Amino acid sequence: MLLLAIVIAAFGALTATALADVGYLGIVLPHFQSAGGLQVLVDLVIALTLVMAWMVADARRSGRNPWPWVALTLLAGSFGPLGYLLTGALRERRAAAGRLPAGAR
Inside any domain, residue 31 = yes
Inside any domain, residue 11 = yes
29-40 confidence digits (pLDDT tens): 999 999 999 999
- Res. 103: pLDDT tops 90: no
Distances (CA, A) of 26 to 10, 55, 100: 20, 29, 43
Inside any domain, residue 41 = yes
Inside any domain, residue 56 = yes
Inside any domain, residue 102 = no
How many CB atoms are located within 10 Å of the residue 100 CB?
15
Inside any domain, residue 101 = no
Give dist(CA 73, CA 22) in Å, integer. 21
22-74 confidence digits (pLDDT tens): 999 999 999 999 999 999 999 999 999 999 999 999 999 999 999 999 999 99
DSSP single-letter state for residue 65: -
Inside any domain, residue 104 = no
Statement: the pTM of the whole predicted model exceeds 0.75: yes
Tell how far CA 105 is from the center of its chain. Answer: 20
Inside any domain, residue 103 = no
How many folded domains does the chain comprise?
A: 1
Q: Which domain holds residue 14?
A: 2-96
Q: Which helix (H) or strand (E) holds 11?
A: helix 2-28
Give dist(CA 60, CA 73) in Å, integer. 17
Average pLDDT over residues 91-97: 90
